[in-house]
Amino acid sequence: MEAFTKHDRRLAGRYVVDAVRALGWADRSLLNMPSSDPLWKLQHSVLASHAFSPRGLAAARGVRERKVRELLGHIRARAGQEVELGRALYGGLINLVSSAFFSVDVVDMDAAAGESAHGIREHVGNIADLMTKANVSDLFPFLQPLDLQGLRRAAARHLGEIFRIVDGIIERRLAENAASGDGSGEHGDFLQVLLDLMSTGKVDRDTVKAIVFEIFLTGGETTTVTVEWAMAELLRNPSAMAKLRAEISGALGGKETIEEADVAALPYLQAVVKEAMRLHPVGPLLAPHKAVDDGVEVCGYAVPKGCTVFINVWAIMRDPAVWDNPEEFMPERFLGKAAEVDFKGKDFGIFPFGYGRRQCPGMPMAERVVPHVLASLLHAFEWRLPEGMSAEQLDLAERFTTSNTLAVPLKVVPISVAA
What is the C-alpha to C-alpha distance for residues 290 and 35, in angstroms, rounded to an integer? 11
Domain boundaries defined on the chain? 2-416
| Single-letter code of the amino acid located at 281 | P
Q: Which of 59, 117, 128, 124 is nearest to 93 (CA)?
A: 117
Query: Each residue of 154-164: pLDDT tens digit?
Result: 999 999 999 99
**Residues 311, 3 contacting (CB under 8 angstroms):** yes
What is the C-alpha to C-alpha distance for residues 158 and 163, in angstroms, rounded to an integer? 9
Inform me whether the pLDDT recorded for 184 exceeds 80.
no
Is the overall model pTM greater than 0.85, yes or no?
yes
Q: Is 360 annotated as a binding residue?
A: yes
What does the pLDDT read at residue 419? Answer: 54
What is the C-alpha to C-alpha distance for residues 302 and 181, in angstroms, rounded to an integer? 60
Inform me whether the pLDDT recorded for 116 exceeds 60.
no
What is the C-alpha to C-alpha distance for residues 362 and 388, in angstroms, rounded to an integer? 39
Residue 112 pLDDT level (bands cut at 50, 70, 90): very low
Q: Strand (E) positions, 125-251?
A: none
What does the pLDDT read at residue 117? Answer: 59
Q: Which residue has the higher pLDDT, 105 or 231?
A: 231
Residue 185 pLDDT level (bands cut at 50, 70, 90): low
What does the pLDDT read at residue 73? Answer: 95
What does the pLDDT read at residue 44? Answer: 95
Q: Tell me whether residue 66 is exposed, middle or buried, using C-beta atoms within 10 angstroms of its C-beta: 0 to 12, 13 to 18, 19 or more.
A: middle
Task: Give Cα 112 distance to the centre of its chain.
Answer: 25
Q: Which of 371, 409, 354 is nearest to 121 (CA)?
A: 409
Q: Which fold has domain 2-416?
A: Cytochrome p450 (1.10.630)
Q: What is the C-alpha radius of gyration for the chain, rounded to an integer number of angstroms?
A: 22
What is the C-alpha to C-alpha distance for residues 251 and 269, in angstroms, rounded to an integer? 12
Least confident of 47-56, 141-150, 292-301, 388-397: 292-301
**Residues 97, 220 contacting (CB under 8 angstroms):** yes
What is the C-alpha to C-alpha distance for residues 181 and 354, in angstroms, rounded to an integer? 44
Q: Tell me whether residue 8 is exposed, middle or buried, using C-beta atoms within 10 angstroms of its C-beta: 0 to 12, 13 to 18, 19 or more.
A: middle
**Residues 405, 232 contacting (CB under 8 angstroms):** no
Furthest CA-CA distance within the chain: 65
**Residues 291, 11 contacting (CB under 8 angstroms):** yes
Which pairs count as long-range contacts for 98-102, CB under 8 Å and 24+ apart, including other chains? 98/169, 98/216, 99/63, 99/66, 99/67, 100/60, 100/63, 100/64, 100/67, 100/189, 101/51, 101/60, 101/189, 101/190, 101/191, 101/212, 101/215, 101/219, 102/169, 102/173, 102/189, 102/190, 102/191, 102/212
Least confident of 34-38, 121-125, 387-391: 121-125
Average pLDDT over the chain reads: 91
